[in-house]
Amino acid sequence: QWSQASSSRAWEKHWMDAARHENVFVRLAAMKTLSEMSGSSDAALATLAEGLQDTDSSVRQQAVQGLALGGASARQYVPQLIKAQSRDGDEVVRQHAVQAIAAIEKSPGANSERLFFWGTFLVIVAGAGFAAWYYRSWLMAQLERVGGMSTSS
């Protein structure tokens, strides 16, 4: 199994190198293959994101589609997709970028950072509320005790 994983990484590296080839057809084939590789690595996603800057619109189009397939892992490339969506000279690339952004945002795990933030925030607020209630209860008990001693003497 290790040799299979090693072989898979070697092929991925091969296609990442091919994505930077001078021939447009080689770059396009590399982008398509990287897009189709299941569970693309961060390096493969970065290579696909580089493809957004390619001079050929078909390569850019394939890069956008590949990032869309990256799901939540491709979330860090949404700003580049937004840029492609608003500035690319090819209408098809712009349309695919809109679809890719939507696919990434809807993918499972895409909102985990947001959920973690709000979950942490709620735990802190609840903890602070409990601490304030507990301190108030303790303080009232102390005041009653002090007040009780002064009235009895």
Residue 73 near residue 37, CB atoms below 8 Å: no
Count, residues in the chain: 153
Does this model's pTM top 0.95?
A: no
- For 106-122, write each residue's pLDDT tens digit: 877 656 667 777 888 89
- For 45-65, write each residue's pLDDT tens digit: 999 999 988 888 899 999 999
Band the pLDDT of 153: cuts 50, 70, 90.
Answer: very low
Residue 67 near residue 96, CB atoms below 8 Å: no
CATH classification code of 2-106:
1.25.10.10
